Structure 1
Amino acid sequence: MSNIDEKINQLHEIVTPFDDFEDEALLDEIQGNIIKAHGRNHSVHLFLQFTGDPDLVKQGISQFTHKYITSALAQAEDGKRYRQNQTVPSKIFGNLFFTAAGYQYLGYDPTQISNDPSFLKGMKHPDVNSQLGDDVQQWEAGFQQEIHALVLLAGDKRVGPRTEEAKQLERKDPKKLRKQPFLLAQQIETIKEELQIIAKVVHEDIGYVLRSSETGEEIEHFGFRDGVSQPLFLKRDIDREREESDFSQWDPRAPLSLVLSKDPLGEKEESYGSFLVYRKLEQNVKGWKKDVEALAEKLKGSEKAEPALAGAYRMGRFQDGTPVVLEDKPNSQISHENNFNYAQDPQGQKCPFQSHSRKVNPRGESKNLDEEKMNRIVRRGINYGPLPSEEPETDAGLLFLCFQANLETQFNLMQQHWCNQRNFLRPDMGTDAVIGVEKKEVDANGNLVAVTESYKWPTKWGEAGQTQADFSHWVTMKGGEYFFAPSMSFLKSFLPEPRRDIVFRGEPKQEIQAAKDKINELRDYQARNWAIGLHGDTLEPDDFLNFFNQRHLEFEFYLLNQVQLGDSDAYDRNIRTLTRYIKDVRNKEIEESEYKIAELKEYQELNWAIGFDGETIQPDQFVRFFGERHLPFQFYVQNKTLSLGDQSAYNQNIDTLNDYISFLKD
């Protein structure tokens, strides 16, 4: 076993990057979002079916990876910059995952990745449906097609130095929170066009983070805090948890082997990936609320039987996160409490055995605790559809994503043997009251209706009496699939990585023209068979070498005089280098301009000043960006001290940048 394998199998806490960091090679090789959530408020999920020649698809995959896919190290670097109030690079966060069918299309034996039958068969297979309790007939059409890959793209509002301010405004208004940021929306259209070369999009999901209007914390459509009690891998997260807990009742730490699995197709010792489960779970908010109120009414013999407690019985926590095993009402003092287990409630008189959180995380009740903790999953879900306040019955819910090292012993075991079984954790207690049955039944009239199940609930919290009451399963599975998150080296292996440290002198348009002129000059020298790199008489660096050195470009010499160096192919190699350089400069400028357009649109929506900082009356980042490119800029500032321009300035500047992008593309 290699040193890196030993680390992954041990309870190894990764320290923060750049702070005596020893695992940069590992984080640079695994995709982001696996051991740490990407943290963006918005995401788009594109389900792909590959088309065309597999070798060309592979090249397209590498090209796409170089441009969009985010490694765990890049994610960590951005996180540190953000914490230090430094500028974070303007970039969409990206993941890329493959199904077994996708690997097969590319010419790989999927058993190289895993021999797990569920991964190899796919989630649509009847055997897998039977195990998980799904009904493919209820799935959305896109999920019923063969899926080869999933692209996850995530972003936030992009408004330069005022991004955090805009995000705070967004959190205060759920309608704004649901609205997709301009940057993500416009990038998705560009990405779809690029993907058409290698694949077709067979399904698309759009997600957003719901937040409590009171606390700003993440919630799901039934109103409960989301993302509670995750396995922790990073030292920063573990240290933060230790500030609130001594880990005496529950230790949330996990070895990397819980979530990382060796990628045999990767090119490095650190090549690891992770298995992803994707399930679109529709939540009937109106039906849930009605059943919670009905349960509270049935338990009204207790003065504490109210909807908050009835909902907590089902979920295992109150909406604010308070564990129902610790309290019979919401308690802000312990709403973030995670240092508990169920030893003090062996009969389920406080937290029923069928409650969701007790079913999916028994905290040592089901078997040996160390073994049970390796059954956990790493959740990365996000919401979709109308807001809970609209009480949607369909087309809203959770895009459930979870990572793990082993599908069979983690998600599949949890869903099949824990959630779907009436006899787990005690005989005849019922399935998971939230996700135990994720399909609907057909009633006598041929209509699909929620599956109803009978449960026994504590009549009074903490006492032995029980009340029997039916509760319907208001969560319906609408489609999903199993994926593997490949290592970065595998994804990049089909095409060399483009230059990222582009250094040029002067204004971009002039720089592009200067590189074109230098290409023409090289061709002229090639026709004359003249030396390049050093002057033939003085052996001093010539203009070609100086031009390349100033831009940190590799240069090939060709001399046949006092010094013999290189060969005649050097002309063509240098021309190719400059051609790639022109392309890189163009792409970088197009990308920067697209980001600036998105910022202008966000400023327009917020009616913020452009051109001058509203408080200091100093030129802002828009003026600098336009000025560096010799582009005309229209000001719009309206405050107590200055009135300049009008609201048409936003669109005029956007049109200017679109014209600039068109020029670059031509």
Structure 2
Amino acid sequence: MKLNTLAQVISFGLCAQIVSVAGLNEARSLERRKTSILFNPQGLPQLPGLQEATNASRQVGLNLDDVQGDILIGMRKLFERFFFFGILNAPDFKAKLKTEILPLVTSTMQVIANETDTMLNIAFSQTGLVALNITGPTNDLNDAVFAKGQAMDAFNLGDPNTTNWVPEFVGTNIHGVMLLASDTEASINTTLADLQSKLGNSITEIYSLRTAMRPNENRGHEHFGFLDGISNPTVGGFQDPLPGQALVPTGEILVGETGDSVTRPEWAKDGSFLVFRQLKQLVPEFNKFLADNPINEPGLTPEQGSELLGARMVGRWKSGAPVFLSPKFDDPDLGKDPTRNNNFTFAEPGQNISDPTDQSGCPFSAHIRKTRPRADIGLPENVTSNHHIVRAGIPYGPEVTTDETSSNTTEIERGLAFVAYQSNIANGFQFLQHFWANNPKFVHQGVGFDPIIGANASAERPVNGLDPTNTTRNFTLTTDFVVSRGGEYFFSPSISAIANTLSV
């Protein structure tokens, strides 16, 4: 019924040139579900309610009915499929983009209002936009990193080359990606199979990745075991920040909004650049490293010493509690409290700058400190650094097997389908990876690499500050516990842009 309603509106020419967002919403509307397709782990800020989101967006003029749903919701999906495709017949695909895909594309407001059983979003690579004839100076998105593609950016990301990449990510054959999320895998499978049937030979499947939130008590935790997504910022016009949570200008995530200083084509407004990275995690090897190098401190068992080392590498305990606030032992109550687990700056109370010699509370190299340094760069809440991203990734692959645990060797691939949104890839993801995580001199000389995601083209990585009993002690990591399997850069357009520009 939804597809027919929109198709009739278009075919009778009632919206001959411009399909309004209001009309799209009416055509796509569903009865509201009683439950969300999302899961909100304890420790992460709750998504705004329908009325809260409506009021907030009205205050700043942000149209949440026009913003694709995945961009602002963060790491809350239970099941997700990434369907990477190439366009074989552009005119046919454009027609079906309007009649078959567009009615299913889910807005932020629809996700919040529980008006979908399967969220579907779509984004296009630079070569995909070219295939759709979105070219020329008037259509230039003015993001050089996006334009050249991720394979050409491998060096800046610390990848030695593309040898370890999934072969399908090498080259320029991927024109787009569809993201489908739901609370059941069956719902995703049904939606995708039906859509593939309708799209026919207009596209070809290049690569697909099934992902799912980990089961039971590990929901919301990535494969190393740590609660993920706590430090995501909140975006102006979407919801108010909790204590310590960064509040970023809308235009730092959404193109064409306040805070985006780059000249963009008018149709690009309220879109966002999507970075996809498939990150393989060597979990048995990581656990073996922790077991072999426990922090030797009075009052700690070897197991506790290993847990402390892992927490200091990440900057948080597995519960999500920051080591800066709980330096010796995990504090699950702190970890699951979103009003407290971000409320710190790495500086002493009342100070705007952290002590450049003190790593006792948290190493300068810790993952969460490298990627959000807070008072280390003189910005207590880091709200004006313009290097924020909204992460919306999800684990893939099975749980570690008993054989892998016994051999301390990864035999089955698992990891994180990393997704990040921003209005400028050079200021967002690329900056965080290249200038912070991979920079052994940031924030101070001799800090070393981010021990989790820092990459040095497969060479060894020196890391400083992990041992609180001797913060000058150096560790040399010879194993990349996170291995890049490649990815691509995409642009996730607004729903009205799909209707009025990309499909015409």
Band the TM-score falls in, shorter-chain normalisation: 0.7 to 0.9
- Any residues of structure 2 matched to 1:85-100 within 5 Å, and which? 88-89=115-116, 91-100=117-126
Q: Is the 8 A contact 2:84 2:175 kept in 1?
A: yes
**Structure holding more helix per residue:** 1
Q: 1:40 is matched by which residue type in structure 2? A: K
2:319 maps to which residue?
Answer: 320
CA drift at 1:282: 0.2
Note closer, same or farther for the CA distance 1:227–1:71 as it changes in structure 2 (3 Å cut): same
Query: Is 2:231 the counterpart of 1:194?
Result: no
Give, in whole Å, the separation in 2 of the partners of 1:286 and 1:398.
15
Per-residue Cα deviation, 1:639-664 (whole angstroms, up to 9, x for no partner) = xxxxxxxxxxxxxxxxxxxxxxxxxx
SS of the equivalent of 1:365 reads helix
SS of the equivalent of 1:230 reads coil
Give, in whole Å, the separation in 2 of the partners of 1:20 and 1:383.
31
SS of the equivalent of 1:238 reads coil
CA drift at 1:27: 1.2
1:129 maps to which residue?
Answer: 154
2:232 maps to which residue?
Answer: 230
1:252 maps to which residue?
Answer: 246
Alignment coverage as a number of residue pairs: 423
- Any residues of structure 2 matched to 1:399-548 within 5 Å, and which? 399-437=417-455, 440=458, 451-459=459-467, 461=468, 466-471=472-477, 472-493=479-500
Q: Which runs of 5+ in 1 are unaligned?
A: 1-12, 79-87, 158-180, 242-246, 441-450, 498-666
1:50 maps to which residue?
Answer: 87
CA drift at 1:184: 1.8
Per-residue Cα deviation, 1:67-102 (whole angstroms, up to 9, x for no partner) = 321012222322xxxxxxxxx55x310010011111
Q: Is the 8 A contact 2:76 2:220 kept in 1?
A: no
Q: Is the 8 A contact 1:15 1:236 kept in 2?
A: no
Q: Normalized against structure 1, the TM-score is what? A: 0.59
1:73 maps to which residue?
Answer: 109
Q: Is the 8 A contact 1:266 1:490 kept in 2?
A: no
Give, in whole Å, the separation in 1 of the partners of 2:70 and 2:201.
27
SS of the equivalent of 1:210 reads coil
Give, in whole Å, the separation in 1 of the partners of 2:296 and 2:470.
16
Q: Normalized against structure 2, the TM-score is what? A: 0.77
Q: Is the 8 A contact 2:366 2:450 kept in 1?
A: yes
Q: Which runs of 5+ in 2 are unaligned?
A: 1-47, 258-263, 349-353, 405-409
SS of the equivalent of 2:344 reads coil
Q: 1:490 is matched by which residue type in structure 2? A: A
**Larger Rg: 1 or 2?**
1
Give, in whole Å, the separation in 2 of the partners of 1:195 and 1:432.
43
SS of the equivalent of 1:65 reads helix
Q: 1:470 is matched by which residue type in structure 2? A: T
2:135 maps to which residue?
Answer: 109
1:300 maps to which residue?
Answer: 296
Q: Single out whichever of 427-436 and 330-339 deviates more from structure 2.
A: 330-339
1:119 maps to which residue?
Answer: 146
CA drift at 1:55: 2.6
Aligned counterpart in structure 1 of residue 177 of structure 2, from 150, 153, 157: 150
Give, in whole Å, the separation in 2 of the partners of 1:37 and 1:20.
18
Q: 2:203 is matched by which residue type in structure 1? A: A
CA drift at 1:465: 5.0
SS of the equivalent of 1:26 reads coil
- Any residues of structure 2 matched to 1:646-661 within 5 Å, and which? none
Q: Single out whichever of 217-226 and 486-495 deviates more from structure 2.
A: 486-495
Note closer, same or farther for the CA distance 1:255–1:60 as it changes in structure 2 (3 Å cut): same
Give, in whole Å, the separation in 2 of the partners of 1:219 and 1:38.
10
Per-residue Cα deviation, 1:27-72 (whole angstroms, up to 9, x for no partner) = 12211111224843101101111112x3322112212333321012
Per-residue Cα deviation, 1:368-427 (whole angstroms, up to 9, x for no partner) = 555654211100000101114555455100000000111111111111100111101111
Aligned-residue CA RMSD (Å): 2.9
CA drift at 1:490: 1.8
Give, in whole Å, the separation in 2 of the partners of 1:140 and 1:110.
31
Note closer, same or farther for the CA distance 1:20–1:29 as it changes in structure 2 (3 Å cut): closer
Q: Percent identity?
A: 25
Give, in whole Å, the separation in 2 of the partners of 1:358 and 1:22.
34
CA drift at 1:494: 6.9
Q: 2:417 is matched by which residue type in structure 1? A: L
Q: 1:479 is matched by which residue type in structure 2? A: G
Note closer, same or farther for the CA distance 1:496–1:56 as it changes in structure 2 (3 Å cut): closer
Note closer, same or farther for the CA distance 1:479–1:394 as it changes in structure 2 (3 Å cut): farther
